[in-house]
Every structure is written in structure tokens, then in C-alpha cells.
Structure 1
């Protein structure tokens, strides 16, 4: 039986999961493929540290990428190192050495995806990246293949497990943002420096990849406008719950009449919407197509074996292409056109405001005038609490362009009665039929 040799770049959480998957299911995969998959190299910084790892018995450990490139028998390079450098350089070099590449690297794919795909096609090899979004959730290939008959109208996802764990903890356990973050760090869901997650950058990179495939366009991380969850307080979560909402960090791509809009932001999600029930570190992507209507993909967004499942799906697909001589065809992210972008300032949403104001006569008229001056209709006003000589107000607006919200925030901040514009959060409408 033919053997396809694999070079594994990195042996952390995902790399060890890939090795375990191959060991556990090698016979099943061989029967499916008609060939054996064998890890022959593992690239790590300090090979001596891994000499006694049972999963790596019989595998050549190396710290030299050049050694791997010099072996003409390598059929697939699996990059699970993370980070941009040197992963980017290794991916391009492997492709130029006529080796197919499977990657779980969202950072590299979000910035260089189309360029990588073109390099693969020029060299008649494959590049696949299913695990770069959603961990074990199959989403990129379904977007590209299973939904190919659709014009995708919107992609709305919870694609960062760290922030979803934090917000779920605040909602279910009533803890503060800082306490929820500490628990996430203790459990390993959040890094010591959580900036990439809580500021929304991780979700933005994943949205760039989803949008590139779903909207068949050249989209990069820089095209996504990003807001994180740092300002979400326990009061915001509590008030959202009282009104029938859960707060989630959403990655939102929508097709407008004259372009697409790409945003990452926290939002009040109606409890009636399927995304509101996504708890803990789970991910979900809700896709609307003009033919299929609504579909949702749900599962673990990270973890050793769930992510390895997505990596190995790409490895198996690539192995099939190698076996039948069809590598370098039918790949995703090959569209080079720059689709027009719709200004996110024009997008309409309902908004939640939490205001701290003087507890005196005439405050509501001052506030109402500020909203009216900027063509914003108020749906609801509730006084939530009183303390000393101040009051806390919660205001929900009707659907309003983002640019009007920015202007009214400035106007509110200079009102004589205003102590603090404590928070402003979008409110998602559940407009499903």
C-alpha cells in the first residue's frame, strides 16, 4: 500500500492532536484512502524535549526546516505552529517545493490567504485551512462547496471561545468581567495577555477568512472594523437578561446593495435566536443564503482533538487529490477581485445606551432633544437605579445608522446633566420568519 509522508510543523496542542488522530484512526483512514498516512518529521525548537513522547515513536524530530525541504518523499506539510513568522515563510517555501500544505493558522490565512492559494495552484499542489476558523466545526468547505449554489447574504458568528466563555460566565453566574476573565485564564481559555481575544482581533481574522470564501472576494483582516468586550459590565449583562437578551461577541458580514460590510462587536442577542444559546467556549456560525435560507454550524471552537479533526479532514482530502493526481485545483480563496465595501457607518441597528445622569428635573427632556437632533427615535427609556444625587438610565433606540450614534454620543457627553455615557451596545433583531 502506498504511503504519504507528512511533516508536522509544531507539536503543541493541535500538533499532538494530529498525531493522536493518525495513531487512533490510521486503519480507518487507510481503508478510506487506499494509502497509509505517516508522520515522518516533526519540527520543534528543542527536539530533545520530545524524545520520550510515545506518540512520536519512530518519528524524526528536527529543528531544521531545511532538512524537511530536502526530503523529496514528503507529500504533505501540516503547519500548526501558530503566529505569522516563520509560519508564513515555511508555508510558501513548502508550496514552492511542490509540497501540499495544510494549515490551522488563522493569522497567516487572514492576511495572505489568496496569495498562498495562487502559489499552491502555480505549483500544482494543495493548500487547505479548514481548522483556521471554528476549531472542529466544518465551515469553510461547506461555504465553498455545499453552499456554492447560493449568494451568501450574511454570516454571523460566535467565533472566539474565550470571549464567549467570559460573557457566558457573566450571564449565568453573575460574576464581573474581571472575575470571568481570571477564570478563563485559569482554565486555559484565555492567554496571560488576553488582548487578541477580548479586543476582537481573533474574531476579526476569522471573519476575514469566512467573508473571503462566503462572499467570493479578496478580504483581509484590515477590512474588518473591530470592537471588543472590555467595556461590558455586569450591569449591562444583567439589563440585557432582564429584557430577554444575551450579550455575545459577534463577527458579522453582510451583503448590502452596493458592497459588503464586515464588523466585530458585542451585541444584545435575543434569547429566541439560536446564537443566544451558544454557551461556554463553544462556537457557532449562522449563515444565510438566498436559496438555502438559514443554516447554523455549531461545535467546539478549539481544543486538541476537535481542531485536529478539521486538520485531518484537510489532510485526507489532500491525500485523495495526491492519489488521483488532481492537486492544485478546486481550492478556496482564489478569487482576487476586491469587492466594494459598504460603510459600516451607514449600517442601521438598534442600540442600547446606559447613562449616568443628575437626578434632577428636566434631564429626560435634555436627553430626548439630543437624540431628536440627530434623527434618532427612542424605543424605550427605563430608570434602572438611583444613588446619591444621580440616576442610571437605560435607553433603547430604533434602528439608526452608526454615524448618528457616534454623533449623539458626543452630544450626550457635553450635556450639563450627563455624568457618564457608561456604555453603548448594538441590539440584534431576530427578524427570522
Structure 2
């Protein structure tokens, strides 16, 4: 029998308990062992819960119980979740989590701690909820040099953008609807400002390239400044605007960023709508592989956490992937990044006046006194210099 403890009995923690209980027989058949929930750590009491007798309030009870071999961290936030995870690993207890904040900030340290103490640290649910993407990236695609990862990594922002694209709603109206439906928090900053997507692309990049980049060093732009005019201009030119987390190999260096991008309709990600997430990975042998599904929610996330528990219980001998902390030398200079750009300008006398600055443009649209167009590939520093010569209303990279 494998004894586990769950840290936190909120949405994800209770989901983990439910999945383990509902699917107990099938799990036992798959691994030839029973997984028993011995403890659930929470500050609250749950007298009406079938797991009421499992509740404890002191983490040390779990830490000092040698019968507990796996800890499922479902607390959220950086501290004390990271501290409890480190302490458990130092005791030789394996840890599984859905906590993207912890993995993105200190995942490199926790992986090394796990390896040093004969434990494992798994976090499939930290990116994409129930979508199996981290393990396939690290194992099934291990034979590939990963050229790029482009992901719609946040369901809240994708829902908002879908409402803007399909129904012509403003950002403010779509955000309010997302909050009413429970897709967005009362304070939606982590979602709409790109913070959540940034943490997730850092984790994906670390698996692909073995280096964990500090999220604070990732150029990150959210969706709050996207106008309906931009959405319409993009659609007229055959593009959908999506919040994209991107990691790519540029001459052996990592280029990682999060921003709204124009995605051409013939790109697989353009069809990923509503609250769904999608991750498009390009490998030099396999070409494009798309992972799509619900990126959040109680049961999808719990499904991925329990899968990690099963993996450890069934194959405890497997090793951890070890990451290094990315340094500035590992990162491609942002100003050297090459991309096409969507640009919208006002006070443009005519197309020719724009071409005096951006000599080669396409997808030209005139709307309400504004002129929008798409440039040819440019380095970011060259684009900035050119854009400074015009009255630019908005601009986005093109995927």
C-alpha cells in the first residue's frame, strides 16, 4: 500500500481525493497497489466531508510519518507551498503538484533536492491542467531538437478573446462575463496581464531546453490593450489574435516571451477557442505536434496530479530531469528577435506615406481613419526605430 498526503483541501485538493476514491479499483489494477490517503492538511475543518477523519492541521505530522511516501501539494501560492515541498523531498518523500508558481520559480532547486534524496518531483498539472503535455515533451519527444513551442496557455484570456473575435464584444464586457461565469477571478491580473501564461511557458521551456528562466526576465504583455478595431483588422487579413506563450531556439539560445500575436487561420492554434488551451510543439524530426484540451478546472487538474501519483507509485525508480538556472548568456537578446508585425497607425496621409518608413507591407486595411498593415520580417530593434516615426496606435507580433 502506498500512503499519500494531500496539502490543501480546496478545489484541486478535493478533486485529487475524489479522483483517487472514484477510480480506486482501476488504479489498483494498473499499478498492482493500493493508494491510500492517510492525511489531508488544511487549516479548516470539514465535518461533513467523507474525508473528515483525514484532516490534520500540522504539517510536521505528515513530515515525520515515514509511512507517507508521496505528498500532493495543492495549496497554491509560492509560500509555504515551496517550503513544504522542499522539506518533504529532503525526507525522501516524492512530491506532485499543480502549482505553476512554485515550479516556475524554484522548480530547478526542487528537482535537484528530489534527486539528492531518492525522491521524485512531478508537476504535469502545472501546465495545461488535464492536458498531457509535459511528460510527452520530456519523454515522447526526447529524440527531437525542439525548435519552438507556441501555446495558448490561459483559458480565461482565450475565452475573452473568443468573445471579442466571434461576438464583437469589448475587452471590458468579455472580462465581466468571464468573471460572472467563474472563468476569471475578481482580480484578474494574473490572467489578463499574462503572468499565468508566463509561468507556464517558463516550465515548458525548461523541459525543452533544460534551463529554467526567471519569469521576471520574460518579456510579458497581456490582453487588456487589445481593441475591437485590431480584432476586426486581423480578421479581415486572415488572422485571429491570441495570447501566445512562446519559447524557441535561436542559434542555441532561448527566446521566451508572452504577448498577443496574430495567428494565421491556417495555423492549428487559430482554431483553439473558448476556455480551451493548446500547445503547438515543433521538433526537428516530428515536425508539428498539437496538444489541446481544458487547461483548468477541478477534475481535469486533479486527473493530471493523480496520474503523477500513479507514475511514482508504479515506477518509483525513474529519475528526475535536472534543470539549471538560465543565465543571461542562455537568453537570445530580445532586440534581435525577428518577427513580422501588425501595425495600426492614425494620421497616415496614405499608403505611400507609410511605405516611406516600412517599405514592404501587406494586408493593408483602412478603417475609421486608421491604416493597418503587416510588415515583412524585422528585428525588434529595427521595428522600434521605424515605428517611432509614425503615429502608432497599436502593434502586435505575427506568429
The corresponding residue for 2:163 is 169
Which residue of 312, 320, 328 maps to 1:331? 320
When the two structures are aligned, how many residues end up with a matched partner? 398
The corresponding residue for 1:272 is 266
When residues 139 and 40 of structure 1 are mapped into structure 2, their CA distance, relative to the original with a 3 A threshold, is same
Residue 135 of structure 1 deviates from its aligned partner by 0.4
How far apart are the structure 2 equivalents of 1:364 and 1:37?
67
**1:195-344 equivalence runs, <5 A:** 195-322=189-316, 326=317, 329-335=318-324, 338=327, 340-344=330-334
Q: Deviations over 1:117-151 (max 9, x none)?
A: 00001110111011010100111111111111111
Q: Is the 8 A contact 1:113 1:333 kept in 2?
A: no
Q: Deviations over 1:228-247 (max 9, x none)?
A: 11110111111211221111
What is the DSSP-based 3-state SS (H/G/I as helix, E as strand, rest coil) of the residue aligned with 1:371?
coil
When residues 297 and 149 of structure 1 are mapped into structure 2, their CA distance, relative to the original with a 3 A threshold, is same
Residue 31 of structure 1 deviates from its aligned partner by 1.4
Residue 392 of structure 1 deviates from its aligned partner by 1.5
Pairing 1:105–2:99 present: yes
The corresponding residue for 1:51 is 47
Which residue of 12, 24, 27 maps to 1:26? 24
Query: Unmatched 5+ residue regions in structure 2?
Result: none
Pairing 1:347–2:337 present: yes
Residue 16 of structure 1 deviates from its aligned partner by 1.4
Query: Unmatched 5+ residue regions in structure 1?
Result: 386-390, 414-420, 429-433
How far apart are the structure 1 equivalents of 2:306 and 2:187?
30
Q: Is the 8 A contact 2:4 2:69 kept in 1?
A: yes
Residue 93 of structure 1 deviates from its aligned partner by 0.7
Q: Is the 8 A contact 2:213 2:326 kept in 1?
A: no
TM-score by length of 1: 0.88
When residues 337 and 178 of structure 1 are mapped into structure 2, their CA distance, relative to the original with a 3 A threshold, is closer
Q: Is the 8 A contact 1:212 1:333 kept in 2?
A: no
Residue 335 of structure 1 deviates from its aligned partner by 4.5
Q: CA RMSD in A?
A: 1.6
Residue 9 of structure 1 deviates from its aligned partner by 0.5
How far apart are the structure 2 equivalents of 1:223 and 1:38?
41
**1:25-104 equivalence runs, <5 A:** 25-47=23-45, 50-54=46-50, 56-57=51-52, 59-104=53-98
How far apart are the structure 2 equivalents of 1:190 and 1:354?
29
Runs of 4+ in 1 over 3 A off after TM superposition: 333-339, 362-368
The corresponding residue for 2:362 is 379
Q: Is the 8 A contact 2:233 2:365 kept in 1?
A: no
How far apart are the structure 1 equivalents of 2:319 and 2:289?
24
The corresponding residue for 1:11 is 9
Which residue of 370, 382, 405 maps to 2:357? 370
Q: Which has the larger radius of gyration?
A: 1
What is the DSSP-based 3-state SS (H/G/I as helix, E as strand, rest coil) of the residue aligned with 2:165?
helix
When residues 172 and 363 of structure 1 are mapped into structure 2, their CA distance, relative to the original with a 3 A threshold, is closer
